[in-house]
Structure 1
Amino acid sequence: MTMAASEASASAPVDKGIGPLLRAWRERRRVSQLELALRADSSARHISFIETGRSRPSEEMVLRLAEHLDVPVRERNSLLLAAGYAPRYPETPLDDPALDALRDGMERLIRGYEPYPALVVDAGYTVVTANRGIAMLLEGVPDRLLTPAPNAMRLTLHPQGLAPRIRNLREWRGHLLAQMERQIALHRSDQLRALYDEVTAYPMLGDGADEEPAEPVPYFALPLRIEHGGRILSFVSSISTFNTPMDVTVAELAIETFLPADPATAKYLHTVAG
């Protein structure tokens, strides 16, 4: 499914009831009415009646269908509203005292990962917090890209950001854009779409050809190969999210950690941090 089709299918207006929204999510997941009914312990007839507006599902049924369609927490609230129910999931500001333990835990986690880079971003790729490993990689990046709210995609792909230092920019850029496309297909976000349009418009540096390492390394995942201090460092990234979140803010946080992809990178980071 193309991004345009995905976005269009997700934009069914709430004021038309839950039917169009439910159908859009079911079609996006490529699930038939019968398959969804079997998963949700219902009937294809009932699913059809909900989608056509002939039946109003219970609040429990809305949540059950959303669960089986893997609908994001924010969008589950939209489904509930469209069905005439109050939103179930709050959206607590990250600086709210109720999330003190969460913030402290994330800070401890990424600090404990040092000297390797790690950061936390929200659904729009705004950097919530980062450790000293990330700060090291960002040395020399203009302040205007770092304040007031740095954006991970902008920092990485902007021609005045990290892009000139990334030795496999074409591959890494393709990976990041594909990641954004998946997020756009998952979330109805004008902000995310605008960011995607912005970063895809950035010029590719040079001829766009990736610089191959002098001695090929059998990486176990696509690495980020980036220059720092006259050396080429190699990382593979891992993204973690929270299990069964009950808050929109928490559901949209992601912790990205960068693991050294070779012994030379690990040794260099420990030496610099030493």
Structure 2
Amino acid sequence: MGLDKEVASAAGAVADIPAGASLAVGGFGLCGVPGVLIGALLERTEVCGLAVVSNNCGVDDRGLGLLLREGRIARMTSSYVGENKEFARQYLSGELEVELVPQGTLAERLRAGGAGIPAFYTPAGAGTQVAEGGLPWRYRADGGVAVASPPKELRSWGGREYLLEEGIATDFALVRAAVGDRHGNLVFHSSARNFNPLAAMAGRITIAEVEELVEPGELDPDAVHLPGIFVQRVVRVRPGDPAAERHIERRTVRTALVPEQQGGM
């Protein structure tokens, strides 16, 4: 592959993602979600049966929730799923397989997969059903458990138990960055930095949508959060694209204080 990794359109960037592919998707809530790439994949109605790894599955009408609503996701590996009613419905009715993973463990599994580390030991989950197995991954339509989590290998060091977790590598990864260059070097803004770099590392083919595309050499090397070696395709977000809009997951406001409440006269 040449050093110039820019792809002309999001549709072109996701054109070879097949049905049944595994995807690592960046974002945290609605922060740093690659909405343009998700929208392009949504247009490819034949792409279904996806196995998605992401911190959460968006909300009912945003982010990965759009793919979920259309029945395109067969399996989710996530940490937090509490903002999506359709997710709960599909899971409890047996339509969706779900592996819930402690958030720090999920982050490290993605990083490990990207670094070529097949597995690692962690104390997170030791002494719980995460280690013992039996957590419902998929329900039957009658409410019984169709697929349960397996037990995990345990070892002790220094009198403390640790369980073995496997690294995660996926066929593709979709991420969103604030700034990127044509070589695939990426800079993420604030909280969007949490899962996006890890998802990018885990993907064998990583596609990045960037809000600002600059020429190679314009980024300060010390400011780069993810080097281009982990990125195969870059798509510039077009101004005015509705899929690129930023949304607030939970808008919290307070009533304006009158002068007396502010300590004024």
TM-score higher than 0.5: no
Question: Structure 2 length as normaliser, TM-score?
Answer: 0.27
Larger helix share, 1 or 2: 1
Question: Structure 1 length as normaliser, TM-score?
Answer: 0.27
Greater RCO between the two (CA within 8 Å, min separation 6)? 2
Larger strand share, 1 or 2: 2
Give the structure with higher Rg (CA): 1
